[in-house]
Structure 1
Amino acid sequence: MAASTATRPADLTVDAAALIADIERYLADQAPRTAHPLVTKTTAELVAEALAGPVGDEQAAPALTAPSRLWRIIPDWALALTPARRFHGAGRAITVTQHLELTALVLQQYGWHRGGLRSRGGARCIVGAQAVLYRLGYGDEETAVAAGKRLQNVLRRRGIDEPFHAWNDRRQRDLGDVLGLIREAASDR
């Protein structure tokens, strides 16, 4: 594994930066701030409006791109060593809701997996997606534990007593079920 990582470091750098940029964009959207109390639009809306062309020009939302195969299959501990992680600092505090929504983002980008933390191709289960966030420095152990409790509470309300990681691994489960659980837990306050 070390030899293949050493032969293509450019892929790692670009993909790490892209995933972190997607996470940062999501987090920026979560904290709208206005330039002045009398202004009803957020600063981001004002900037976007100023940069937009004439009325009627439509700008497509940036597409999320899946990380390359190399980026998905490197060991999770190596995520903490990525140049993009070093650029953004040692860590960033996020809320439990943000952690859950970002967990869904990771599953959508990396792919979903059952039967283990990750597949050989790099797809992740719920806990594996949480590990990606933790290794990249988004949130801490307490945030991940609190997110797990929210997931467990949603399952309990549905009458399911098994742990969410075991629920993830059931044969009848699919990505839609998993994302539904995560999003319901994210909206649970």
Structure 2
Amino acid sequence: MAASTALRPADLTVDAASLIRDIEQYLAEQAPRTAHPLVTKTTAELVAEALATPAAGEQPAPTLEAPRRLWRFIPDWALALTPARHLHGAGRQITVTQHLELTALVIQQYGWHRGGLRSRGGARCILGAQAVLYRLGYGDEETALAAGRAMQNVLRRRGIDEPYHAWNDKPKRSQGEALQLIRAAITYTKENP
């Protein structure tokens, strides 16, 4: 395995709250304009303000965050119960392109896996990364299915007929190849809206 795709244990210690912060930062960068003309701050400014540390003398709001390493072992279905999900994701609609870009982000943050949705250490396959987004409330089932169809179309163009999740699980597959497929699907969705 090349040094650029090697996973270090520290790379896998990402908790749901930090992943949500990364997703929110990505989404804020995608839509820098405010949602309503009466709002004077950009989305990025509002997100930064919400994530800022409290001023001196202010009491921070209590959080229910588990220790960082614990998030690696919590089953994916439990992500729907995280307090951070209810503050941020929870039913937020995203485009298919954004879903694919965030799928790549999850793999880069948690690590990549083959042979199952996730490893014991929390790494995810492509389908597992999509499940994380869905469980956190980013997009809906149709968005995830459309992203899957985009990846499937890329594989078909390459002469590969097996499902993308089975392709992901092939013994000689690498994280770089999985990310390359996702990025090709992003290009595909931009060219074929």
1:129-183 alpha-carbon deviations (Å, 9 max, x no partner): 0000000000010000000000000000111111100100111110000000001
CA distance in 1, matches of 2:128, 2:32: 30
- 5 Å-filtered alignment, 1:47-126, equals 68-88=68-88, 90-126=90-126
Gaps of 5+ in 1: 1-13, 35-42, 47-66
Q: Which amino acid aligns with 1:160?
A: I
Deviation at 1:184, TM superposition (A): 0.8
Q: Which amino acid aligns with 2:78?
A: A
Q: Which amino acid aligns with 1:139?
A: G
Deviation at 1:17, TM superposition (A): 2.1
CA distance in 1, matches of 2:15, 2:163: 32
CA distance in 2, matches of 1:146, 1:28: 23
Moved over 6 A (4+): none
1:4-52 alpha-carbon deviations (Å, 9 max, x no partner): xxxxxxxxxx932211110011011112338xxxxxxxx5899xxxxxx
CA distance in 2, matches of 1:177, 1:133: 21
- 5 Å-filtered alignment, 1:125-164, equals 125-164=125-164
> How does the TM-score come out when normalised to structure 1?
0.73
1:33 paired with 2:33, answer: yes
Aligned length: 151
Q: Which amino acid aligns with 1:172?
A: K
The residue aligned with 2:165 is 165
Residues 45 and 75 (structure 1 numbering): CA distance in 2 closer, same or farther, change over 3 Å? closer
1:175 paired with 2:175, answer: yes
Residues 89 and 103 (structure 1 numbering): CA distance in 2 closer, same or farther, change over 3 Å? closer
CA distance in 2, matches of 1:150, 1:164: 10
Say which SS state the counterpart of residue 121 (structure 1) adopts: coil
Say which SS state the counterpart of residue 104 (structure 2) adopts: helix
| Percent of residue pairs bearing the same amino acid type | 78
Given that residues 69 and 122 in structure 1 are in contact (C-alpha distance below 8 angstroms), is that contact kept between their aligned partners in structure 2? no
Residues 89 and 157 (structure 1 numbering): CA distance in 2 closer, same or farther, change over 3 Å? closer
Q: What is the RMSD of the two structures over their aligned residues, measured on CA atoms?
A: 2.5
Deviation at 1:121, TM superposition (A): 1.1
Deviation at 1:124, TM superposition (A): 0.7
Q: Which amino acid aligns with 2:110?
A: Y
Residues 89 and 101 (structure 1 numbering): CA distance in 2 closer, same or farther, change over 3 Å? closer
